[in-house]
Amino acid sequence: MSASTTLSVRGLTQTFGDRTALDDVSFEVRPGRLTGFVGGNGAGKTTTMRAIVGVLKPDAGEVTFGEEPMTLGVRRTIGYMPEERGLYPKMKVLEQLIFLGRVFGVDKDVARERATQLLEDFGLSDRAGDVLHTLSLGNQQRVQVAAALIHDPALLVLDEPFSGLDPNAMDAMSERLRERASAGVPVLFSSHQLDLVEKLCDDIVLIHEGRVVATGEVRSLREERAGRRYRVQVEGLPDWSPDLPGVSVLTAGADGTTVELADGADPQALLVSAQQAGPIAHFGRVLPTLADLFAEVSR
Amino acid sequence: MSAAARPTANRSDLVRTIAGREISVKLHDKGFIASTVVFLVVIVVATVLPALLEGGTPSYTVGVTQGAQSEAEVAQRLGGLNNDERPSDIPAADITLVDVASVEEGLADQDVDAVLTVDGQNAMLSGRDSMPDELLTLVTVAHAQSVIGAVATEAGLDADQLATLTSPPAPQVVLADPPPDFAVPPQLVIIVFGFLFYFSVLTFGMSIAQSVVEEKQSRVVELLVAAVPIRWLLSGKVLGNAVLAISQVAIIIGAGLIGASVTGASDVIGQVAGVSGWFLAFFVVGFLMLACLWAVAGSMASRIEDLQSTTLYMQIAVMVPFFAAVLIQDDGPLQRFLSYFPLTAPLLMPARMIQGTAAGWEPWIAMALVLLTAAILIVVGARLYAGSVLNTSKRSHLRSAWAQGAGA
């Protein structure tokens, strides 16, 4: 996959009254990668996604997909799942998917075939003839995802696709998204579940109060922000504490001792000091979790 | 996906798909099916029932005693005259005569309704608990003729003079300005059409508004707007509901006309069929004129519960023409004005045509005015709809919808 199917968001700015919802938001969603969109409530995730799919016209900025502006033709290749969900409550599940498929330009028979297959993938074959609102919220959510996939989209923009799913459904959903990404589709999804994003995503975009505060590969972001924090575990010595200049102990316990090194301090000296105390069970840099990063930027 | 491989958005396909869903939803709506069936039943009953009730000439069997034959035969002949030969005060009745020996013997037979006996100048009609009016009138006239005949013969008048005496020639009536010959009072036709349109525009207008707010409330509109231009979406909705509304009205008018033809009321068909073309044409344009505004009434609401208040003005806009058409039936400046005013023209211009007070060119002018207004209201409505349909959080205001709808 080349960069020709990269989704680029550049300088999106949007105000609602005197509130700035988006302030110069820029990032990329690369083909074949799962990109997590993370931020607190009201940080601007939904507004950004609405601007990407063309439901909202931003005050400034532009969105391109494969270097093309988001014309109607391009927008019709997006699989979109809105924040508050959007399906006809009184329409039957299969009929609904076929209708949406046709709205996205899929031939009626092909739409029926795909809808049937998607329902089977999501374990909903027996509910195909049921009216949507008779399904549980979790199942409605799966239908919503099926609706976003019905036209074999070239780009996926999903607002909170995991909210309200049980662990099994979350696994199935992760698998679906991974599958799409492997097929070369750029996937952007927002979530509050940071552990899940950390586990699932290749890239993240971290947004806070309408500004992108971090963007890139999850691993390198964590490394970048790791600082000089180490965890040392000496067997049989849960409360081991080094006595070295420039090394301060943050926590000590059964998991070992976490220390912060000052700028001039050498981690090798720390290792040597630990080895002298006893056999080493663990020695390594502590990478901040996504939750740590999130807490840091939203402070 | 490259630009070349991407399926292009086809406007007419999309509009048809959206319209198709509107139609399919409505056709699966039990309330809609039930109201249409009830309407059809009412129309069929209304056209067929009067014919059945009035229908047919009453039949009587009359026992005739010795000496009453000639009166009985005259009564039988009068009752059996064709409609155009029979004087207006003589009722139609199909009388069967049977000879009986006496009143008692005659009435003993349950098939016999009455027994006629004549004794010189005295006639007697004997019955059981009541005497049919038609029979009484016919026998009265027959007996009077027989008495006059007897007196005239005594006075020496010949047959021609007698005939002149018993049925004096009526004067020929010539009217300089005869009113049109209506099979049904025009007022009734106007009320029926007025009610039909009122009902239909309200039903399908509400249905457009509901469909819009349903998509807003369920947020499905976000999915649709991402893939379909807002105005195409609106066209599909209006088209679907217009097709349903026009079909329903056409089916009901058709059922009425078929009902009338089955019961042989061919003069009613001639009268109604003649104007229903104009009525339908005005209905179509009138419906389209308001359709986009109904969508706006839906898009200004954010929940189904708001519809009552956001559609209020629309309900008034439909009610006013209906009551104007029903209440203002006198040919005057007010009716003339309203027959050109775009909101009331779709009902009042055809109403004037039915009353015969509109010149041939008048409906064309009124139609042009309604079309012009429709064009303006469609543009305004589409902009307001575009400006408010994505505002899902709260009730919209016209001013902000107008501003928002500018580029949408």
CB contact under 8 Å between A82 and B7, yes or no, is: no
Bridge partners of residue B117, in order along the sequence: B124
- Look up residue B350 and give its two tokens: 């055809």
Q: How close B304 comes to chain A (CA, Å)?
A: 13
Contacts of B347 by beta carbon, 8 Å cutoff, 6+ apart: B190, B193, B194, B197, B282, B286, B321, B322, B324, B325
Q: Residue range B327-354: average pLDDT? A: 86
Are A70 and A198 within one domain?
A: yes
With CA atoms as reference, report the closest residue to B250 among B43, B24, B2, B13.
Answer: B43
Instruction: Name the pLDDT band for B50 (thresholds 50, 70, 90).
Output: low
Q: What is the CATH number of the domain that holds A112?
A: 3.40.50.300
Are A41 and A130 within one domain?
A: yes
In A104-203, alpha helices (H): 108-121, 137-149, 167-182, 194-200
What is the extent of the structural domain holding A84? 3-219
Instruction: Name the pLDDT band for B272 (thresholds 50, 70, 90).
Output: confident
Greater model confidence, B381 or B390 = B381
- End position of a domain, from candidates A191, A219, A247: A219
Are A133 and A276 within one domain?
A: no
Instruction: Name the pLDDT band for A79 (thresholds 50, 70, 90).
Output: very high
With CA atoms as reference, report the closest residue to A195 among A82, A298, A292, A83.
Answer: A292
Residue of B nearest to A152 (CA): B1
Greater model confidence, A158 or B52 = A158
Residue range(s) occupied by CATH 3.40.190.10 in chain B: 56-166
Range with the poorest average pLDDT among A62-76, A127-141, B55-69, B388-402 = B388-402
State the total domains in chain A.
2
**Percent over 70 (pLDDT), chain B:** 89
Q: Residue range B62-70: average pLDDT? A: 87
Nearest by CB to B21, which of A87, A99, A147?
A99
Nearest by CB to A84, which of B3, B17, B219?
B219
Measured CA to CA, the distance from residue B48 to residue B256 in angstroms comes to: 9
For chain A, list residues whose CB is within 8 angstroms of any CB belonging to chain B.
5, 50, 53-57, 68, 72-78, 80, 82, 84-91, 99-100, 102-105, 147, 154
Residue of B225, B230, B232, B233 to mutate, testing the A interface (most A Cβ within 10 Å of its Cβ):
B225
Are A213 and A268 within one domain?
A: no
Q: Residue range B335-345: average pLDDT? A: 88
Are A202 and A251 within one domain?
A: no
Rounded (5°) CA angle B92-B96-B102:
125
Range with the poorest average pLDDT among A176-190, B175-189, B389-403 = B175-189
Instruction: Name the pLDDT band for B55 (thresholds 50, 70, 90).
Output: low
CB contact under 8 Å between A73 and B1, yes or no, is: no
pLDDT of the residue at B1:
44
Residue B5 has pLDDT above 60, yes or no: no
Residue A245 has pLDDT above 70, yes or no: yes
Does an H or E element contain A186, and which?
A: none
Taking contacts as CB-CB distances below 8 angstroms, the residues of chain B near A147 are 223
Are A166 and A127 within one domain?
A: yes
> Mean of the per-residue pLDDT values for chain A?
87
pLDDT of the residue at B179:
61
CB contact under 8 Å between B219 and A56, yes or no, is: no
Nearest by CB to A82, which of B3, B8, B219?
B219
Sheet holding B59-64, edge to edge: B94-99, B59-64, B114-119, B122-126
Are A177 and A253 within one domain?
A: no
pLDDT of the residue at B357:
82
Residue of B11, B26, B28, B223 to mutate, testing the A interface (most A Cβ within 10 Å of its Cβ):
B223
Q: What are the pLDDT digits (tens) for B172-226?
A: 777 776 666 666 677 777 888 888 888 888 888 988 898 888 888 888 888 898 8
CB contact under 8 Å between A147 and B223, yes or no, is: yes
- End position of a domain, from candidates A156, A190, A219: A219
Bridge partners of residue A25, in order along the sequence: A12
Range with the poorest average pLDDT among A1-10, B19-28, B129-138, B259-268 = B259-268
For chain B, list residues whose CB is within 8 angstroms of any CB belonging to chain A.
1, 3, 6-10, 13-14, 17-18, 21, 25, 214-215, 218-229, 390, 392, 407-408
Nearest by CB to B220, which of A56, A76, A87?
A87
With CA atoms as reference, report the closest residue to B291 among B347, B370, B368, B238.
Answer: B238
pLDDT of the residue at A41:
84
Are A189 and A77 within one domain?
A: yes
CB contact under 8 Å between B25 and A91, yes or no, is: yes
- End position of a domain, from candidates A175, A194, A219: A219
Are A184 and A198 within one domain?
A: yes
Instruction: Name the pLDDT band for A3 (thresholds 50, 70, 90).
Output: very low
CB contact under 8 Å between A53 and B18, yes or no, is: no
Nearest by CB to B14, which of A5, A103, A154?
A103
Nearest by CB to A54, which of B17, B226, B407?
B226
Residue of B nearest to A72 (CA): B227
CB contact under 8 Å between B226 and A78, yes or no, is: yes
Greater model confidence, B164 or B143 = B143
- Look up residue B229 and give its two tokens: 């231009």
Taking contacts as CB-CB distances below 8 angstroms, the residues of chain A near B390 are 55-56
Residue A99 has pLDDT above 50, yes or no: yes
Q: Centre a 10 Å sphere on the Cβ of residue A251 and count the other Cβ atoms it contains.
A: 10
Q: How close A88 comes to chain B (CA, Å)?
A: 6
CB contact under 8 Å between A103 and B215, yes or no, is: no
Nearest by CB to B229, which of A5, A72, A104?
A72
A286 φ, ψ (degrees, to nearest 5)? -95, 115
- Interior/surface letters A224-245, b for 16+ CB within 10 angstroms, e for the rest: eeeeeebbbbbeebeebebebe
B56-166: in CATH 3.40.50.300: no
Does an H or E element contain B225, and which?
A: helix B220-227
CB contact under 8 Å between B6 and A88, yes or no, is: no
A-B interface: how many C-beta pairs under 8 angstroms? 78
Bridge partners of residue A78, in order along the sequence: A155
Q: What are the pLDDT digits (tens) for B155-179?
A: 887 778 777 776 666 677 777 766 6
Per the CB < 8 A criterion, the answer to whether A289 and A204 are in contact is no
pLDDT of the residue at B181:
61
- Identify the DSSP state of A287: P
Rounded (5°) CA angle B128-B131-B135:
130
CB contact under 8 Å between A103 and B17, yes or no, is: yes
Taking contacts as CB-CB distances below 8 angstroms, the residues of chain B near A21 are none
Are A149 and A271 within one domain?
A: no
Q: Residue range A87-101: average pLDDT? A: 92
Residue of B12, B15, B22, B218 to mutate, testing the A interface (most A Cβ within 10 Å of its Cβ):
B218
Are A292 and A244 within one domain?
A: yes
Q: Residue range B233-257: average pLDDT? A: 87
The set of long-range contacts for A23-26, using a CB threshold of 8 Å and a minimum separation of 24, is A23/A209, A23/A210, A23/A211, A24/A61, A24/A211, A25/A61, A25/A207, A25/A210, A25/A211, A25/A212, A26/A61, A26/A212
